[in-house]
């Protein structure tokens, strides 16, 4: 699709549909990226937009979750350099998972349309889900040149120049959640994302000889990064916490460790404390260290799904009935974290669901531990080479 006036490239099925539904190929799994986003995202840069950046993963003690990005990140960089004839000239300026929910849109613009964005030369957008299946609206339009409209489907990639030769817009999302992996590329080494990320990783505990039993447990960022809409984050009189909102649309609630925590801390502090997962009248009698830990395990369960799991644990499942006092704690915490649960359902109504099974969920807790521990060890192994080369790479 070469066009000298409006250089752009559309790659249909760049990553196979089977891949998008959970099968790995060359270590790339789009559904894994969806799991990361739905368990780690924060309020995004536009209204009704949510984002997961690599720097945020480092800041919330989940630097190991950078690794699943790397194969597709490198593959996209190679394709951009090949198409634009600039092999070995580009640096990745930004990598992020970005989801657009109901009401999100953007008018005509180029991706370098602000003084602080002038370093951007090229963009690559990889779609992780499909128009008409996972979301409605959200069509991508170019102002000039052909094709004028791009209909996003899972596994497709859209590559274009970031300047005024490819002015574009995105229609308003009318339903569901449109999820992309978006990268921008630059020729300016001073904006190399890798160098900034490596600087953060060099100061992170993963680069220390000090170890403890579970160094990979996540820790949330500041509460205002999770409250939607963000303008309500100073008073929390309306809106909802997006982590609790994600759990809510999947049919889960949370319970704090004990009533004394609730009586001495506000709800945002409670989310940093040990929590239990609740489904209906069942309480999973295992503590999660904080809301991010709990959410990662739940989203991991919905990524893998109970039908894919071998049911090893046919013995007691650590599930107990919610007590009367716990019911009141659950209700109060829900009231505080979901001031507007209807809004949460509107925004995340494309959250998807699987049939919940406590036996499978018990298995998932161990699988999540193994998955996360393996990624952490892999990161620790690779980090010295990254620091030495000042570059993040997979091989």
Per DSSP, the residues of 204-236 read SGGGSS---S-TT------GGGTEESGGGTTT-
Once rounded to an integer, what is the mean pLDDT over residues 194-216?
88
pLDDT (tens digit per residue) in 329-360: 899 999 999 999 999 999 998 566 678 888 88
**How far apart are alpha carbons 277 and 290 in whole angstroms?**
11
| pLDDT reported for residue 18 | 46
Crossing angle of helices 324-337/242-249, nearest 10°? 120
Res 86 pLDDT > 60: yes
Q: Is the pLDDT of residue 362 over 80?
A: yes
Instruction: Find all residues with CB under 8 Å of 203, minimum gap 6, and list them.
Output: none
pLDDT of residue 314: 47
Given this model, what pLDDT does residue 265 score? Answer: 60
Q: What is the pLDDT of residue 99?
A: 97
Q: Among 20-34, 214-228, 339-353, whose mean pLDDT is lowest? A: 20-34
Task: Tell me the pLDDT of the chain averaged across its residues.
Answer: 90
Q: CB within 8 A of 24, min separation 6: which ones?
A: 32
**Could you read off the pLDDT of 252-265 as tens digits, one per residue?**
999 986 655 455 56
Instruction: Tell me which of 11-15, 23-27, 122-126, 292-296 is least confident.
Output: 23-27
pLDDT tier for residue 21 given thresholds of 50, 70 and 90: very low
Q: Percentage of residues in the chain with pLDDT exceeding 90?
A: 76
Average pLDDT over residues 378-388: 97
CA distance 181 to 287: 32
pLDDT at residue 15 above 90? no
C-alpha to C-alpha distance for 379 and 63, rounded to whole angstroms: 8
Q: What percentage of residues in the chain have a pLDDT greater than 70?
A: 89
Quickly state the pLDDT bin for 211 (edges 50, 70, 90).
Answer: low
By CB atoms closer than 10 A (0-12, 13-18, 19+), residue 315 is exposed
Torsion angle of C-alpha atoms 182, 184, 185, 189, degrees rounded to 10: -120
pLDDT for res 375? 97
pLDDT (0 to 100) of residue 263: 53
Q: What is the pLDDT of residues 94-141, one digit of tens each?
A: 999 999 999 999 999 999 999 999 999 999 999 999 999 999 999 999
Reduced to 3 states, what is the DSSP secondary structure of residue 136? Answer: strand
| C-alpha–C-alpha distance, residues 200 and 186, integer Å | 21
Is pTM beyond 0.85? Reply is yes
**Average pLDDT of the segment spanning 6-34:** 71
| Residue range 20-30: mean pLDDT, rounded | 51
**DSSP letter for each residue of 42-91:** EE-SSTTEEEEEHHHHHHTT-GGGGGGGHHHHHHHHHHHHHHHT-TT--E
DSSP codes, 230-243? GGGTTT-SSSEEHH
Q: Is 101 helix (H, G, I), strand (E, B) or coil?
A: strand
User: Which band of pLDDT confidence, cut at 50, 70 and 90, is reported for residue 304?
Assistant: confident
Report the alpha-carbon distance of residue 342 to residue 358 in Å, rounded: 27
Question: pLDDT band at residue 208, thresholds of 50, 70 and 90?
Answer: confident
pLDDT beyond 50 at 26:
no
CB 99 within 8 A of CB 177: yes
Identify whether the C-beta of residue 296 lies closer than 8 Å to the C-beta of residue 288.
no
């Amino acid at each position: 699709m070469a066009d000298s006036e409006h250089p752009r490239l559309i790659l249909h099925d760049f990553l196979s549909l089977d891949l998008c539904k959970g099968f790995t190929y060359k270590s790339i799994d789009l559904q894994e990226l969806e799991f990361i986003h739905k368990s780690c995202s924060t309020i995004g840069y536009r209204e009704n937009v949510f984002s997961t950046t690599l720097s945020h993963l480092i800041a919330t003690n989940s630097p190991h979750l950078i690794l699943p990005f790397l194969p597709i990140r490198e593959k996209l960089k190679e394709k951009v350099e090949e198409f634009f004839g600039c092999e070995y000239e580009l640096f990745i300026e930004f990598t992020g998972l970005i989801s657009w929910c109901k009401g999100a849109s953007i008018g005509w613009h180029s991706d370098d349309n602000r003084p602080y964005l002038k370093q951007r030369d090229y963009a690559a957008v990889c779609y992780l889900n499909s128009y008409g299946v996972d979301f409605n609206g959200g069509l991508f339009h170019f102002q000039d040149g052909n094709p004028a409209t791009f209909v996003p489907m899972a596994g497709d990639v859209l590559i274009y120049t970031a300047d005024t030769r490819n002015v574009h817009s995105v229609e308003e999302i009318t339903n569901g959640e449109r999820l992309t992996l978006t990268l921008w590329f630059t020729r300016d080494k001073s904006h190399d994302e890798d160098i900034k990320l490596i600087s953060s990783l060099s100061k992170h505990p993963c680069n220390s000889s000090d170890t403890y039993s579970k160094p990979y447990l996540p820790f949330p960022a500041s509460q205002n990064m999770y409250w939607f809409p963000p303008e309500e984050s100073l008073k929390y009189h309306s809106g909802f916490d997006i982590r609790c909102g994600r759990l809510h649309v999947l049919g889960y609630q949370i319970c704090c460790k004990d009533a004394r925590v609730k009586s001495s801390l506000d709800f945002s502090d409670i989310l940093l404390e040990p929590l239990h997962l609740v489904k209906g009248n069942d309480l999973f009698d295992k503590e999660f260290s904080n809301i991010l830990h709990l959410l990662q395990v739940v989203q991991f369960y919905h990524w893998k799904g109970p039908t894919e799991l071998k049911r090893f644990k046919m013995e007691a499942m650590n599930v107990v009935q919610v007590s009367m006092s716990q019911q009141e704690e659950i209700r109060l915490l829900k009231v505080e974290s979901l001031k507007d649960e209807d809004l949460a359902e509107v925004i995340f109504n494309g959250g998807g669901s699987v049939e919940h099974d406590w036996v499978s969920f018990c298995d998932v807790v161990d699988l999540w531990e193994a998955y996360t521990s393996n990624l952490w060890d892999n990161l620790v192994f690779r980090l010295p080479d990254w620091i030495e080369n000042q570059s993040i790479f997979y091989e």
